[in-house]
A and B are shown apart, each in its own frame.
Chain A
Amino acid sequence: MFRRPRGIAAVVQADAVYLASLPAGPIRVLTGSAALIWEAAQGRNLDGTVAEVLAATGGSPVEVRPDVEAFVAQLVTLGLLESDPGDLTG
Chain B
Amino acid sequence: MGRRPGATIPCVIATQLPVPLAVRVQLGHAAVQSVVDAVGARALHVKGYALDESLRWPGRVGTDVDVLVHPADVSAVLDGLARAGWRRQTSFETGSAFEHAATWVHEDFGYVDVHRFYPGLGDDPVRAFDAVWAERGSTELGGVACPVPSLDAQVLMVLLHAGRSQPSPRTQRDIAQVWEAADPARQASVRRLVDRLGAHVGFAAAVGGLDDYRDRPDYDLWRVSLRGGTRVEEWRARMRAARTLRARVRLVLRALLVNTDHLAAVLNREPTRAEVIGEFFRRGRRVLAEERAARKTAS
Contact B30 A9 (CB under 8 A): yes
In the complex, whether B35 has a CB less than 8 A from a CB of chain A is yes
**Whole-angstrom distance between the alpha carbons of A75 and B13 in the complex?**
9
B266 at the interface (CB under 8 A from A): no
Q: Which residue of A lies closest to B22 (CB)?
A: A11
Evaluate whether A36 and B7 lie within 8 angstroms (CB atoms) in the complex, with A24-B85, A25-B85 already known: yes
- C-alpha spacing A76/B38, complex, angstroms: 23
Interface presence of B154 (CB below 8 A): no
**Inter-subunit contact B11/A37 (CB<8 Å):** yes
Least Cβ–Cβ distance between B39 and chain A, in angstroms: 10
Given contacts A29-B14, A31-B12, A34-B12, contact A55 B2 (CB under 8 A): yes
Given known A-B contacts A10-B143, A11-B23, A30 and B2 have beta carbons under 8 A apart: no
- CB of B53 within 8 A of chain A? no
- Check B108–A71 contact: CB distance below 8 A: no
Residue of B nearest to A33 (CB): B7
Taken together as a complex, chains A and B put the C-alpha atoms of A57 and B9 apart, in Å, by 11
Contact, CB under 8 Å: A56 / B11:
no
Instruction: Classify the secondary structure of B's interface with A.
Output: loop
Contact with A along B100-113 (1 / 0, CB 8 A): 00000011110000
CB distance A71 to B9 under 8 Å? Answer: yes
Q: How large is the interface on B (under 10, 10 to 19, 20 to 34, 35 or more residues)?
A: 35 or more
| Minimum C-beta distance from B168 to chain A (A) | 28
Most B C-beta atoms less than 10 A away, residue of A4, A24, A68: A24
CB pair A64–B9 under 8 Å, yes or no, is yes
CA distance A63 to B9 in the complex (A): 10
Residues of B within 8 A of A9 (CB): 26-27, 30-31, 34, 142-144
A23-B2 contact given A13-B23, A30-B11, CB 8 Å threshold: no
Shortest distance from the beta carbon of B26 to any chain A beta carbon, whole Å: 5
Residue B245 CB within 8 A of the other chain: no
Kindly provide the distance from the CB of B24 to the nearest chain A CB, expressed in whole angstroms.
7
Q: Does A87 count as interface, using CB distance less than 8 angstroms?
A: no
Q: Which of the residues B2, B31, B35, B142 comes within 8 Å of A56, measured between beta carbons? A: B2
Q: Is residue A39 contacting chain B, with contact meaning CB distance below 8 A? A: yes
Interface set of B (CB-CB < 8 Å, partner A): 1-15, 17, 19-20, 23-24, 26-27, 30-32, 34-35, 38, 80, 84-85, 106-109, 142-144
| Interface residue ranges, A against B (CB under 8 Å) | 4, 7-11, 13-14, 16, 18, 20, 22-37, 39-40, 52-53, 55-58, 64, 67-68, 70-71, 74-75, 78, 80
Going nearest first, the 8 A-B pairs with the smallest beta carbon separation are A9-B30, A9-B142, A34-B11, A25-B108, A67-B9, A33-B7, A22-B34, A23-B84
